[in-house]
Structure 1
Amino acid sequence: MLDCVEITTGERPLHSVIWLHGLGADGHDFEPMVPELVRPGWPSLRFVFPHAPVRAITLNAGMRMRGWYDLFGLSLTAVEDEAGILASVAAIEALIARERSRGVESHRILLAGFSQGGAIALAAGLQHAERLAGIVALSTYLPIATRIESRLSDMQKGLPVFIGHGALDPIVPQLLGQTTRQQLEHWGHPVEWQSYAMPHSVCAEELNDLAGWMERHLLGEQR
């Protein structure tokens, strides 16, 4: 089981958000986001921020850092670390199972991530065997798309996805985000796409848009 940072906004939460950080960061990276995102009157939430394993990253001259999978070049989808991606998907499956054991139903679990973390959130969520609340993919792209297409879960048909991307992103070009949006829509997923005048980062406007999306898809009256 991955080590995690956890923040609970109230007693006995029945909704969980598993949020994955980007390359070289750790589970503390998005802790400060919680008070900016959570709105008054929301039910109790548990935010789970796992730490990715430390691994050598080929693109960064083999330097060891926290990452969900290896990167081999600037073209993120040219040669992909499929084994590393699938290992991280399995680790997220274990976190989902733990939330289920704590009494959180799968349809009240949201997978979210930034950059590499967003790629794993997409890969894990689209293949998960039980219906989730949705997927949040920030400044990211869909990895191993052909492999995922062959393993799409019927339970996730029509699963809502929020995609936010910086129009000035030099790390994960916005075109990759737009391509991901098109692929997900082709598979029948309702995607809320938002573009922001920012580089590879997260902004207050994005968190505000995400909070509104969460109210509809994670915290709606049917949940």
Structure 2
Amino acid sequence: MDALISNALVDVFVRFDIIGLSPDSQEDEAGIKQAAENVKALIDQEVKNGIPSNRIILGGFSQGGALSLYTALTTHQKLAGVVALSCWLPLRASFPQGPISGVNKDIAVLQCHGDCDPLVPIMFGSLTVEKLKTMINPANVTFKTYSGMMHSSSLEEMMDVKQFIDKHLPPID
């Protein structure tokens, strides 16, 4: 039962309106920022519970991946990484040109996208990865594409996510 309650709470925290799905669509700036603040509050709570922030990886699919990227780039907590699946960087124009100066300027990012995604076209993923490489250490940004994959996931993608997590959250001795 606790897992169901926890999942329901997280779902409530990550909602913002998607007004359109094109690079020039208007965005729900207030909703995105509020959702990011809610995720930051969850991170703060985990830190208070004894989990160092540098042992936290944010991740999500589609809207959740978009929010994970935005939150990681705007938080003051140093994170272990971000897994961003079939998504985009919201409010990308609001970020300064060039590298960010925050604690996550060297954050590891795994961004994955299907090359046949009709809902969030791969162009969004490509635009996002190019923007990310100007904002954070480009050596820490990995962009993987999956042939024939639509707005979904695959075993290959999940294995790549597992490898990323294993690399950036090694067991504590």
Q: Tell me if both proteins adopt one fold, taking TM over 0.5 as the criterion.
A: yes
| Aligned equivalent of 2:57 | 110
| Aligned equivalent of 1:203 | 154
Confirm or deny that 1:163 pairs with 2:117.
no
Q: Give the fraction of aligned pairs with identical amino acids, expressed as a percent.
A: 36
Cα offset, 1:186, TM superposition: 1.3
Count of paired positions: 168
Give ranges in structure 1 of 5+ residues lacking alignment. 8-26, 29-48, 54-66
**Residue 72 of structure 2: SS of its match in structure 1?**
helix
Counterpart CA distance in 1 for 2:42 and 2:25 is 29
Counterpart CA distance in 2 for 1:154 and 1:97 is 17
| Aligned equivalent of 1:132 | 79
Cα offset, 1:203, TM superposition: 0.9
**By percentage of residues, which structure has more strand?**
1
| Aligned equivalent of 1:50 | 10
TM-score of the two chains, using structure 1 as the length reference: 0.68
| Counterpart residue identity of residue 109, structure 1 | I
| Counterpart residue identity of residue 76, structure 2 | A
| Aligned equivalent of 2:41 | 94
- The ranges of structure 1 where at least 4 consecutive aligned residues each deviate by more than 6 angstroms after the TM superposition are none
TM-score of the two chains, using structure 2 as the length reference: 0.87
- 9, 20, 30: which one aligns with 1:73: 20
**By percentage of residues, which structure has more helix?**
2
Cα offset, 1:214, TM superposition: 1.1
- 202, 213, 216: which one aligns with 2:164: 213
Counterpart CA distance in 2 for 1:4 and 1:148 is 35
Counterpart CA distance in 1 for 2:4 and 2:71 is 20
| Counterpart residue identity of residue 169, structure 1 | D
Cα offset, 1:217, TM superposition: 1.3
Q: Is the 2:21–2:120 contact (alpha carbons within 8 Å) kept by the matching residues of 1?
A: no
Give ranges in structure 2 of 5+ residues lacking alignment. none
Map 1:147-186 → 2, pairs under 5 A: 147-149=94-96, 152=100, 154-186=102-134
Cα offset, 1:220, TM superposition: 6.5
**Residue 104 of structure 1: SS of its match in structure 2?**
coil
Cα offset, 1:76, TM superposition: 5.5
Q: Deviations over 1:35-86 (max 9, x none)?
A: xxxxxxxxxxxxxx81136xxxxxxxxxxxxx62112234254201100000
| Counterpart residue identity of residue 121, structure 2 | P
